[in-house]
């Protein structure tokens, strides 16, 4: 006899894993339940209540993201009562902030905007009354607009449970509640390391990448998967490209190992060098004391000739090689193999060790 509990969601009988929540089981089986505060890989707070569902026998609607399943449970996700409750929550969130989609960087990629459209809300029934916070614009990487914050807590959990930086938390109470570093400090004056995990987790426009402002709408950006060049870990990331330029870098949790979508400050924000006017775009060789541009074949041939001449005249140990952490592990392996097997020296070092 099977010990796997069976529950019913919208008339569909489902075998579910014990300990999972209604939201997890529903999504695994292609049943839509909206959510805003839920963020996979972190604790479920049940804060926004957008995932409200009916459960037979329960006195009130329950939050699907925190309610564990039980054998024989009967769940309804699409009743009129559920729809009206979700719509009310979305209207309250809309009216309590400054959600001006015309200038918001998240327009077209905003989870609150998606729910407003899905529920067909043309205007909230409540007066729109944003808190009037000033926009934090004191650093070059992250812009904070707490007038758009919906207090879902995703940035807090991403900071504290995924990155373990423990910089963000709630402060104050009730309508004055807000999210930020200790003592209401700006990011630049806090212990923030600017990994950008909070921005990646934010469902609205409260946290945005400052480098990307007015550089392209979400639907205009082409995402290109690549490997971060800054060290040998091999973090996977998405380059967001518009008009041939990198607008921003985002993590993608679907890529899995090694970084599970998380990035460090260099991988997330260290992109200015790509389009810098001083960046070398062609090889340079020095002839008679002057640098001139050359083709790759000419530059490699020139370097090979000079290395050969030095080795012949002074011996292999007169040559040394320094490799870079911005190369992949495979490239570093090939380089040391070249120095040892071709040049014939063990004079090899690496910038990450120095």
User: pLDDT tens across 334-349, in order?
Assistant: 999 999 999 999 999 9
Per-range mean pLDDT, top range of 43-47, 227-231, 313-317: 313-317
The helix/strand/coil state of 235 is coil
**Is residue 141 assigned to a domain?**
yes
Same-domain check for residues 148 and 262: yes
Contact 93, 27 (CB under 8 A): no
The residue whose two tokens read 């630049």 is 188
pLDDT band at residue 36 under the 50/70/90 scheme: very high
| Residue % of the chain over a pLDDT of 90 | 86
Same-domain check for residues 213 and 329: no
pLDDT band at residue 1 under the 50/70/90 scheme: very low
CATH number assigned to the domain comprising residue 25? 3.10.20.740
Same-domain check for residues 299 and 214: no
Same-domain check for residues 270 and 291: no
The residue whose two tokens read 């916070």 is 133
The rounded distance, in Å, linking the Cα atoms of 17 and 25 is 8
List the domain range (segments joined by +) for residue 152: 136-275
3-state helix, strand, coil in the chain (%, to 5): 30, 20, 50
The rounded distance, in Å, linking the Cα atoms of 148 and 36 is 14
Same-domain check for residues 186 and 228: yes
Total domains in the fold of the chain: 3
Q: Is the pLDDT at 91 greater than 60, yes or no?
A: yes
Per-residue pLDDT at 325: 76
**Is residue 108 assigned to a domain?**
no
**Is residue 261 assigned to a domain?**
yes
Average confidence score pLDDT of the chain:
93
**Is residue 206 assigned to a domain?**
yes
Per-residue pLDDT at 3: 73
Same-domain check for residues 293 and 262: no
What pLDDT, in 10s, does the model give residues 166-175? 999 999 988 8
Structural element, H or E, at residue 55 = strand 52-55
What pLDDT, in 10s, does the model give residues 59-81? 999 999 999 999 999 999 999 99
Same-domain check for residues 189 and 223: yes
Of residues 167 and 176, more confidence is placed in 167
Same-domain check for residues 141 and 208: yes
Same-domain check for residues 271 and 140: yes
In this prediction, residues 245-273 reach a mean pLDDT of: 93
**pTM for this model (two decimals):** 0.85
**Is residue 188 assigned to a domain?**
yes
CATH number assigned to the domain comprising residue 257? 3.30.70.20
pLDDT band at residue 354 under the 50/70/90 scheme: low
Neighbour order of strands in the sheet with 74-76: 12-15, 6-9, 74-76, 52-55, 62-63
**Is residue 151 assigned to a domain?**
yes
The rounded distance, in Å, linking the Cα atoms of 53 and 185 is 38
| Residue % of the chain over a pLDDT of 70 | 99
């Amino acid at each position: 006899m099977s010990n796997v509990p069976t529950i019913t969601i919208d008339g569909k009988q489902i075998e579910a894993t014990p300990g999972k929540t209604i939201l997890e089981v529903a999504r695994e089986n292609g049943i839509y339940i909206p959510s805003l505060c839920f963020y996979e890989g972190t604790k479920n707070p049940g804060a926004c209540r957008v995932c409200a569902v009916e459960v037979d026998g329960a006195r009130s609607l329950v939050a699907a993201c925190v309610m564990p399943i039980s054998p024989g449970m009967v769940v309804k996700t699409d009743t009129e009562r559920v729809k009206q409750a979700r719509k009310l929550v979305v209207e309250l969130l809309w009216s309590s902030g400054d959600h001006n989609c015309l200038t918001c960087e998240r327009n077209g990629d905003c989870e609150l905007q998606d729910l407003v459209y899905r529920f067909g809300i043309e205007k909230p029934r409540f007066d729109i009354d944003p808190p009037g916070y000033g926009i934090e614009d004191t650093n070059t990487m992250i812009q904070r607009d707490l007038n758009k914050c919906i207090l879902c807590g995703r940035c807090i959990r991403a900071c504290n449970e995924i990155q373990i930086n423990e910089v963000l938390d709630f402060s104050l109470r009730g309508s004055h509640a807000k999210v930020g570093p200790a003592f209401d400090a700006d990011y630049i004056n806090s212990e923030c390391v600017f990994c950008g995990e909070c921005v990646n987790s934010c469902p609205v426009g409260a946290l945005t990448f400052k480098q990307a402002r007015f550089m392209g709408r979400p639907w205009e950006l082409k995402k290109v998967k690549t490997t971060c060049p800054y060290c040998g870990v091999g973090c996977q990331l998405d380059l967001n490209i518009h008009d041939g330029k990198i607008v921003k870098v985002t993590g993608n949790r679907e890529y899995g190992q090694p970084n599970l979508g998380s990035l460090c400050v260099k991988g997330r924000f260290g992109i200015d060098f790509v389009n810098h006017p001083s960046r070398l775009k062609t090889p340079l060789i020095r002839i008679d004391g002057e640098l001139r541009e050359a083709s790759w074949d000419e530059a490699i041939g020139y370097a090979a000739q000079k290395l050969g001449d030095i080795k012949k005249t002074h011996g292999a140990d007169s040559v040394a090689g320094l490799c870079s952490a911005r190369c992949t592990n495979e490239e570093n392996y090939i380089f040391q193999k070249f120095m040892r097997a071709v040049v014939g020296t063990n004079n090899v070092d690496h910038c990450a060790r120095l």
